A and B are shown apart, each in its own frame.
Chain A
Amino acid sequence: GRCLIASTLASASPEDQKKMLGEWLFPLIQALQPTLASKITGMLLEMDNSELLLLLESPESLCYKVDEAVAVLEACQA
């Protein structure tokens, strides 16, 4: 639940907070974009932790952000 996630994050260092958020987000992103999941997770981890928590709670928001990230990646690789 949200309280467990928030309290776990609050007790961690900034580096560990990002790592934990990545560990939680990665499998969700991998389900949407199996081949780009590592890069997309890395991109999204540059966002504020509070925004990342919202993405964890909202599959629709996460799906939208993943689509955005894919578009940026493709633009960079073009």
Chain B
Amino acid sequence: GSSINWPPEFHPGVPWKGLQNI
């Protein structure tokens, strides 16, 4: 399936882009 890129990783100091995947 499309779960290869899940979960989105959070890195301090980097803008969070996880919302784009919901």
Contact = CB atoms under 8 A, between A and B. Distances in A.
Interface of A: 14-15, 18-19, 22-23, 26-27, 38-43, 45-46, 73, 76
Interface residues of B, number: 14
Of B3, B11, B18, B22, most A-chain CB atoms within 10 Å: B18
Contacts of B7: 39-40, 42-43, 46, 73
Contacts of A38: 9-11
Main secondary structure of the interface of B (DSSP, over half): loop
Contacts of B16: 15, 18-19, 22, 45
A46 B11 contact: no
Contacts of A43: 7
A18 B12 contact: no
